[in-house]
Structures are given as C-alpha cells and as structure tokens.
Amino acid sequence: MTQKNPTYLNTVLKTLDDINKDITFSFSVPSSDKEYSSKILNTDQLKRLFKSIIESPSQTSLFTQTFNSIMEENILNEDVSNFTILDKLVYFIKLRINSISDIYTIDLSENSKVVDDSYGYDLNYHVENVVNTVESPQELEISEISPYKVICCLPNIKVENTLENELHKNLDVEIKTPEELRQLVGDTFINEITKYVKSISLSAENIDFNALDFKSRITIVSKLPSTIINKILKYMEAYKTISEKITTCNFTCYDSEGKVVKLEEKIPFDTTFFNE
C-alpha cells in the first residue's frame, strides 16, 4: 500500500536540498586565481550524464550540453559562462574526485604486458602533480596579414553553449553518403576553429564575435586567409597539448617476471569517467 503525501514529499525534498547545499568542495581553475565552491553531483545529475551517452549517437554534443548545465547548477555564486574549456576540464576531474571517488580504476584486463587486471589511479596525486601545474594559454593576436587582426582565446562555456544551441540541436547524425560525411567533417573543422576566435579587426572596424550568432561567425571565419587559419590551428594545438597532459595518467605496474612496466592511460573526457 502506498501513501500519497505531497507535504511529506516536499518537506523531505527541501531537507535534502538543504543538506546538499552544505556538501560542497572548493576548487581553483587555470584561468583565475579565485577559489570557487561547488556542490557535488547528485543522483539525478549522474543519471543525466549516463543518459547523454546512451541517447545520443553524437554523444559529445549531448554530453557537452549536459555537463555545462551541471556546472551551472553546481558551482555556487559564480557565472560559469566565462569558464574556459580548460577550466572545465580541470573542474571535470575535481568533480569526479569529490562526487564519486578519488581513485580512478583503470582496466588492464586486456593488457597482456602486466599481471594485474586493474589499477587504482590516485586522482588527488594527479591533481597535485599534473593538473595544478598547467597554465592557461594567453590570448593570441594574429596581425601579420594586413588588414586582419584576429584575437584567439580558449572558448568558454558561453561559446560552447551558443554553438550547441544553434548548430547541434538540429544536427542530422545519420550519414548516408560520402558527400554528407565530407560535409560533416568540413563543418566540424570550421566550427572548432570558429570557437577559438574572439574578435576580428579589419582596419578601423572591430567585430566582436560575442555579439554575433554562430552562423555569422562561421561565415566570417570561412573567408579568412589560410595563413591565419593555420595560426589559429597552432593555437588550438597548444591547448590540445595541455589537455593531453591533464588527461594522461602515468603509472607503473609489474609484469609476470616482477619487472616494472611503465604505462600510460587516458582519462576519458566523457560520462564513462563517472563510473566508480
């Protein structure tokens, strides 16, 4: 027999919300010296993360949207839209540590070099010795080709959300022809580059990309000379190197003869990282 009691439900929900408000952790991000405070993941948020991997064939897009909304819900007294993608990556690891566990179990069952089936990687050690040592790339000004002056920076949450809302919402993920595949790869490439452009100045005219919708930004970036595009790609490459460093776990195990084996595994920047 079940009892319907909305008052009881609302009272307990409110109590749980109050309890959850107090379970927080503090963290810092590369783009700022400030200390932030965040709530830990609740069950609903974890379910949403798992759903984002199951429901979406273009899972990166849905994961991005879900994780960004969780950041907005959990980070207290702060507008997260200015957090960069590097800040997000750092927060991603710290949220995992505080919400699930500071030990990340790496599956080694298919690694024939070592005897162990798994390795418990210490994420606190990783944060201390790897994550906290990285510095955020500074803004880059590309002005070698007159009259262009392009300012590059790491995309922030606002840029990501704009891209997701405008472009990925109606994305047709079913690729039927090679032509459609070529189109998708081309679009993804130009979308990625556009995310890193903050503004473009042409002589006296300054175009602030934040004031434009994403389609307009893409139209402008598509017209940039390839030399500038290459410079933007190099800037993106610098970020990639940093993010690779943050997501790489280096550790040692033993082989069947008791010799030390050095191993390297990647932290997946997706929902699977939130498995215990």
Partner 1 sequence: MNSFFNVLDVFGKEVRIKELLLKDYRTILKCLLGDTPNVKNLFENIDIIMEKYSSLHLYEIEELDFIDYLIILAKIRNISLSGVLKLRMDDEGKIATLHLSLSDVIQTFYDIKKDFLKSEKNNFGKYEIVYRLPTLSELESCQYDDRFELDATIFIDKIYHNSENICVIQKNLPINDRNELFNRLPAKYSLKVVKDIKALDDKLKKINLINLLNHPDIGEKCILPFDFNIRNITFLIKMLFSDDLMSMYESFYTMSEKMSPEYLDNCTPGEFGMFIKIYESKLKQQNSNPQNVNNIEPSPMNNFEQTVENSEFTP
Of 15 and 188, which has the nearer Cβ to partner 1?
Answer: 15
Q: Rounded to the nearest whole angstrom, what is the least distance from the CB of residue 204 to partner 1 in the complex?
A: 53
Nearest distance, CB of residue 6 and partner 1, angstroms: 9
Q: How far is the CB of 107 from partner 1 (least distance, A)?
A: 16
Residues 6+ apart with CB under 8 A from 11: none
Rank residues 225 and 268 by Cβ distance to partner 1 and give the closer one: 268
Nearest residue (CB) to partner 1, 50 versus 251: 50
The answer to whether 154 touches 85, Cβ cutoff 8 Å, is yes
When computed from its CA atoms, the radius of gyration of the chain, rounded to whole angstroms, is 22
Using the structure block, give the residue that is written with the tokens 């009259």: 147
Closest approach of partner 1 to the CB of residue 81, in Å: 24
Backbone angles phi, psi at 208, to 5 degrees: -85, 115
Q: How many CA atoms lie within 13 A of 87 on its CB side?
A: 24
**Greatest CA separation for the chain:** 77
For residue 114, the tally of other CB atoms under 10 A from its CB is 17
Query: Looking at beta carbons only, is 19 or 211 nearer to partner 1?
Result: 19
Query: Cis (ω within 30 of 0) for the bond into 137?
Result: no
Minimum CB separation from partner 1 for residue 66, in Å?
13
Q: Give residues in contact with partner 1 (CB under 8 A).
A: 1-5, 8-9, 12-13, 15-17, 19-20, 23, 40-47, 50-51, 54, 99-101, 274, 276
Q: Which is nearer to partner 1, 123 or 193 (CB)?
A: 123
